[in-house]
Amino acid sequence: MDKVEANVLQWLTAGSDDAVDIVDLPWKVEELDRGVYYAEHPSVPMHLMVAFSDNFVHLIVPTTIETAEMSNEEKLRIYETLMWLNDKVHMMKYSIGGENKNIRLRVDLDKSTLGKEEFNNALVALVIGVLVGVKALGIEMEFMQKVLQRLIDMLVYRIENGATEEELMNFLTNTVGMDVRDAKDLLDAVMQAIEQE
């Protein structure tokens, strides 16, 4: 692990839930392979892959939108939209990758000049890119459903691991950033669903 990799991992894992900058949130980071990491924070609407190569830090946001099986007409519409967005959103770019040609967002950062501020700007650009892309592709409802499901999965995991109601409310209000009433309503609904299973 080189110095840049160590710095990036420290930037992601240190911090607090009331941070102003995205980079200063305490991201949960998991090593997937040598020099490849998965990072997430409940208040950020994306999963982040961080990969290190010789000269670059690659930030990649994979999506579940597969284009491989789409009709040519639908592919053309999506590809044209992504190319148009590439010209509108600075720093990050939309791309296609993987076996199923999933839509991805990415930023490639030069290791030789990378600082914490530029890294934070890249994270902000990716969040903006997710939101702009969701709107441009007309998939707002699907996106919100996935974000809500991700939040519910995090709650269920904490419940199964013995979290108290106070800890769950703290997670929803302080870590996720929900207001108390919405957090209580969501927690009540999840608890009710678990009891009915």
pLDDT of residue 34: 95
> How far, CA to CA in Å, does 163 sit from each of 43, 138, 169, 178, 182?
19, 37, 10, 18, 19
Q: What percent of the chain has pLDDT over 90?
A: 29
Banded model confidence at residue 144, pLDDT cuts 50, 70, 90: low
**Least confident piece of the model among 23-37, 51-65, 143-157, 174-188:** 143-157
On whether the CB atoms of residues 187 and 165 are closer than 8 A, the answer is yes
Is 3-138 assigned to CATH 3.30.70.260?
no
Question: d(Cα 51, Cα 40) in Å, to the nearest integer?
Answer: 14
Question: d(Cα 29, Cα 50) in Å, to the nearest integer?
Answer: 9
Residue 177 has pLDDT above 70, yes or no: no
Question: d(Cα 81, Cα 46) in Å, to the nearest integer?
Answer: 20
Residue 145 has pLDDT above 70, yes or no: no
Residue 76 has pLDDT above 80, yes or no: yes
Higher per-residue pLDDT: 46 or 80: 80
pLDDT of residue 38: 95
Task: Quick: pLDDT tens for 92-139.
Answer: 898 988 889 888 889 999 999 999 999 988 988 888 887 777 777 776
